[in-house]
Amino acid sequence: MIQKKYENTAKAIADIHDGATLLVGGFGGSGLPSHLIAALVEQGAKNLTVVSNNIGAVSDGVAALISNNQVKKIICSFPVGPHADDLIARLQNGTIELEIAPQGTLAERIRAGGAGVPAFYTPTAAHTELGEGKETRMFNGRLHVLEHAIIGDFAFIKGHKADRWGNLVYNKTQRNFNPVMATAAKITIAEVDEIVEVGELDPENIATPSVYVHRLIKLEPQREGRVLVNE
Amino acid sequence: MSKDEQKVGWSKIELASRVAQDLEDGWFVNLGIGIPTLVADVIPEGREIILHSENGLLGLGPKPEPGEEDMDLVNAGKEPITLKPGGCFFSQSDSFAMIRGGHLDAAILGAFQVSMYGDLASWKLPNKPLGRVGGAMDLTVGAKRVFLCMQHSSKGVPKIVEECTYPLTAPRCVDRIYTDLAVIDVTDDGLVVQELAPGVTFEYLQANTAAPLKILETRLSKGDSAVI
């Protein structure tokens, strides 16, 4: 019988190794797999390459891994926010590398990684600093830059409900980067509010099919009666 | 700027309302971070304009009532918003396929600088250690129209210039500029003022703009002696 549920976050992330590439879903605090991140801070794997849209928007996001000196390289679109000070300090002393990618290019590089496409051309960032040094080609009279796929060793994603097989549904804009990142890692680990039996999720609503999800962690509900606002 | 000068022109919400006036029934429109997000609160009555949020939403509505905020229902600025009936959610890659694929009628964005040719600089300041591009580069190449919605000047320094000195978001991409002082079109014939905000003369506008402006005589304010 398929069983992807792990009894705790520590076991679900225990094999993340030094030097791993990690995709982290979320947009600011929404859809952020913050419990998996907290477990990885405890676990301590180092020299990670972390791919995530926002760095520094919230304290329990990728900023926590940076502050704990676990990150070698960041690939993101928006490295600015109230919790970006440690990133700035490490950039200034040369202990971390930052690659800024336009948000749509970042999403498409991840999509390509999950879809078996090694690279693609896009008009985004042509004639700009972020397109410098990249291969270019004209299509229909317009300059395009070549962008390469991103594949993670692991992905941390956040869903609302999973079934035992790992099919996922999301809650509102919590979806954001989670479905695409789920496709692009060798091991995708999802933290969800609830795990239900196979057949209970409406097949029309499943946004991430089970083929992409390898491990599940169920969180204790904690948001009842509490309004969570981004920091 | 003196205090008197700050009173000239549109407030932020008036500026957002002025932009909203030009959005047509049935348009799909993306709102950027900052003043553009205010447009969601001032869509004219009776007009169906479907707002897109880059984090994966169509049908963005006004801000929620206090106490109704939901952390899983946020806009591109990560602020709580509401969903209108007919709205829907989708992934980030779908959201940017929509943007890059040319499906949005307009993107309303902020700017650090815009040139007289429509070059936009909006993601990195020379004196800051980090740039933050977000979806701006995808929106500028993908949306059918790019409208800027911004303060005319930053700390007294004009943002409309002959050539951008900050790193570009995209060249030749801006169609129209809405500021607290005026509405200005970027045309093959240069920057053409379409409307002056209340109390703003063409001479005052030109004095606060670091690129040459043109205006039709019929659009001049009282008190303008200049005829272009």
Could you tell me which CATH number the domain at A9-119+149-218 has?
3.40.1080.10
Three-class secondary structure of residue A46 per DSSP: coil
Q: What is the mean pLDDT of residues A123-145?
A: 98
pLDDT above 70: residue A224: no
Q: Give CA–CA dist B218/B196, Å, rounded.
A: 11
Q: How confident is the model at residue A226 (pLDDT cuts 50, 70, 90)?
A: very low
Chain B residues lying within 8 Å of A31, measured CB to CB: 72
The chain A residue lying nearest B140, using CA atoms, is A124
Give yes or no for residue B6 having a pLDDT over 70: no
Chain B residues inside the 8 Å CB shell of A207? 91
Check pLDDT > 70 for residue B228. Answer: no
The answer, yes or no, to whether residue A217 has pLDDT greater than 70, is yes
More confident call, A149 vs B130: A149
pLDDT at position A126: 98
Alpha-carbon span B181 to B31, nearest angstrom: 20
Q: A174 to chain B: nearest residue by CA? A: B72
B107: CB partners within 8 A, 6+ apart = B29, B30, B32, B99, B139, B140, B142, B143, B145, B146, B147
Q: Taking a C-beta distance cutoff of 8 angstroms, is the pair B9, B199 a contact?
A: yes
**Which residues from A are below 8 Å from B54, CB to CB?**
103
Asked if the model's pLDDT at residue A33 lies above 60, the reply is: yes
For chain A, the average pLDDT equals 94
Lowest mean pLDDT among A52-56, A129-133, B208-212: A52-56
Q: Alpha carbon of B119 to those of A219, B146, B215: distances in Å?
A: 47, 11, 21
CB contact under 8 A, A172 and B70: yes
Helix (H, G, I), strand (E, B) or coil at B187: strand
Q: How far does the CA of residue B96 sit from the closest CA of chain A (Å)?
A: 5
Single-letter code of the amino acid located at B9: G
Q: How far is A108 from chain B (nearest CA, A)?
A: 6
pLDDT of B225 reads 57
Q: B83 touching A, CB under 8 A?
A: yes
What is the residue-wise DSSP string for B194-212? Answer: EEE-TT--HHHHHHT-BS-
CA–CA distance, B150 with B133 (Å, rounded to integer)? 17
* Average pLDDT of the residues in A9-16: 98
Average of per-residue pLDDT across A87-96: 95
* Residue B157 CB coordination number (10 Å): 10
Test B168 with A129 for CB contact under 8 angstroms. Answer: yes
ipTM of the complex, rounded to two decimals = 0.93
Q: Is the pLDDT of residue A66 over 70?
A: yes
Whether B115 shows a pLDDT value over 90: the answer reads yes
Exposed / middle / buried, residue B7 (Cβ in 10 Å: 0-12, 13-18, 19+)? exposed
Residue A33 DSSP SS3? coil
Domain coordinates in residue numbering, chain B: 3-219
The pLDDT confidence band at residue B128, using thresholds 50, 70 and 90, is confident
Q: Are B17 and B205 in contact (CB under 8 A)?
A: no
Selecting from B72, B96, B137 the residue whose C-beta is nearest the C-beta of A171 gives: B72
pLDDT of B227 above 50: no
What is the C-alpha separation between A175 and A110, in angstroms, rounded? 15
Among A28, A110, A128, the residue with its CB nearest the CB of B168 is A128
Any CB–CB contact under 8 A between A59 and chain B?
Answer: no
Phi-psi region of B38 (alpha: psi -120 to 50; beta: other; left: phi over 0): alpha
Q: What local confidence, expressed as pLDDT, does residue B220 receive?
A: 82
Q: DSSP secondary-structure letter at A208?
A: B
Cβ within 8 Å, pair B100-A122 = yes
The structural domains of chain A, with segments of one domain joined by +, span 9-119+149-218
Q: What pLDDT, in 10s, does the model give residues B21-78?
A: 999 999 999 999 889 999 999 999 999 999 999 999 999 999 999 999 999 999 998 9
Task: Indicate whether A231 pLDDT > 50.
Answer: no
Please give the average per-residue pLDDT across A55-69, as a whole number. 93
- Percent of chain A at pLDDT > 90 equals 90
Q: DSSP character for B167?
A: P
A91 touches B: beta carbon within 8 Å: yes
**Best of B31, B63, B78 to mutate (most A CBs within 10 Å, chain A):** B78
Q: How many Å apart are CA A79 and CA B200, to the nearest integer?
A: 38
Q: Which of residues 198-227 of A touch B (CB under 8 A)?
A: 207, 223, 227
Q: What is the CA radius of gyration of chain A?
A: 18
**pLDDT at residue B218, rounded to an integer:** 83
Q: What is the pLDDT of residue A220?
A: 77
* A97 bridge partner residues: A73
Q: Which residues of chain B make contact with A228, given a CB cutoff of 8 A?
A: 71
Could you confirm whether B54 is annotated as catalytic? yes
Residues 6+ apart with CB under 8 A from B78: A27, A28, A29, A30, A54, A57, A230
How many of the other CB atoms lie within 10 Å of CB of B67? 6
CB contact under 8 A, A98 and B130: yes
With beta carbons less than 8 A apart as the criterion, state whether B136 and B169 touch. yes
Strands A142-148 and A119-122: antiparallel
CB A210 within 8 A of CB A183: no
CB atoms within 10 A of CB B79: 16
Protein fold of B3-219 = Glutaconate Coenzyme A-transferase (3.40.1080)
What percent of chain A is modeled with pLDDT above 70?
95
What is chain A's percent helix, strand, coil content, to nearest 5? 25, 30, 45
* pLDDT tens-digit readout, B152-211: 999 999 999 999 999 999 999 999 999 999 999 999 999 999 999 999 999 999 999 999
How many CA atoms within 13 Å lie on the side-chain side of A85? Answer: 3
Identified catalytic residue from B5, B14, B45, B54: B54
State the sign of the Cα–Cα–Cα–Cα dihedral A9, A218, A164, A151. Answer: negative
Taking only the tens place, the pLDDT of each residue in A154-199 is: 999 999 999 999 999 999 999 999 999 999 999 999 999 999 999 9
Q: What's the rounded mean pLDDT across residues B75-86?
A: 94
